[in-house]
Chain A
Amino acid sequence: QQKVQQSPESLSVPEGGMASLNCTSSDRNFQYFWWYRQHSGEGPKALMSIFSDGDKKEGRFTAHLNKASLHVSLHIRDSQPSDSALYFCAASGLSGTYQRFGTGTKLQVVP
């Protein structure tokens, strides 16, 4: 069964708009989260991590974690065509486990 669920499956936003992606872990042991981005033909690259409740901002990207519900979101402000990619959420627990990746959200930023 899928331990990490992402929504929506795909998303289209206008250039300059806000993109919001969601991720939920179904296992309370998995509460450390990373967001990765994968451009076509490349391997995924890490965008940011979030391990504590609340918001974490890095440039145009803001992640929000609610540990009680094991829900994490990623918001991309002022979206650019170069942000068009597949976005993965990955969740892990303490030492002895490994990161589980979600099914991904395909983001398209339309000029």
Chain B
Amino acid sequence: GGIITQTPKFLIGQEGQKLTLKCQQNFNHDTMYWYRQDSGKGLRLIYYSITENDLQKGDLSEGYDASREKKSSFSLTVTSAQKNEMAVFLCASSMLGGTNYAEQFFGPGTRLTVL
């Protein structure tokens, strides 16, 4: 089995600040994802990456940047933190890049608080 590690677990920032969230996976999966989950609600896709150096926008990409530095890591940057985006950010990965009905494996999440 593998594991997805997200750092930090809790992130507190000031309004307008640039903040970076990191994700590492050791499944050797091709595809990685970033989701936002607002207070016990559904998941909305921010960015995904089918392979190293690939980036694809999801439904909620405005206000965010992403970077796939290598196959095992995927970073998400909040370009200017806003109070209405306090949420849990979930990273996930799946095998079979481009085959999007594959099972996704999730990390434990990063909880973002904006002061």
CB atoms of B109 and A106 under 8 A apart? no
Q: For chain A, give the interface size range.
A: 20 to 34
Q: Determine which of A42, A96, A101 lies in contact with B42 in the assembled complex, contact meaning CB atoms within 8 Å.
A: A101
With a cutoff of 8 Å between Cβ atoms, the chain A residues found around residue B12 in the complex are: none
| Partner-contacting stretch, out of A14-22, A43-51, A54-62, A69-77 | A43-51
* B94 vs chain A, min Cβ distance (A): 9
- Is B112 located at the chain interface by the 8 A CB criterion? no
A92 and B100 contacting across the interface, CB-CB below 8 Å? yes
Q: Which residue of chain B is the closest to A95 with respect to CB atoms?
A: B98
Task: Assess the A104–B41 pair: CB atoms within 8 A.
Answer: yes
If A101-B42, A104-B41 touch, whether A93 touches B100 (CB-CB below 8 Å) is yes
* Residues of chain A contacted by B74 (CB below 8 angstroms): none
CA distance A51 to B101 in the complex (A): 9
B21 interface contact, C-beta 8 A: no
How many angstroms from the CA of A93 to the CA of B4 in the assembled complex? 25
**Nearest CB to that of B43 among chain A residues?**
A101
Question: Once the chains bind, are A45 and B106 in contact (CB under 8 Å)?
Answer: yes
B103 CB contact (under 8 Å) in A49, A93, A95, A103: A49
**Residues 41-63 (chain B) with a chain A CB within 8 angstroms:** 41-45, 48, 56, 58
- Known contacts A32-B101, A43-B90, A49-B101: does B45 contact A98 (CB below 8 Å)? yes
User: A residues bordering B, Cβ < 8 Å?
Assistant: 32, 34, 36, 41-46, 49, 51, 86, 88, 90, 92-104, 106
A-B contact pairs, 6 of them (CB 8 A): A42-B108, A44-B104, A51-B101, A88-B42, A94-B100, A101-B35
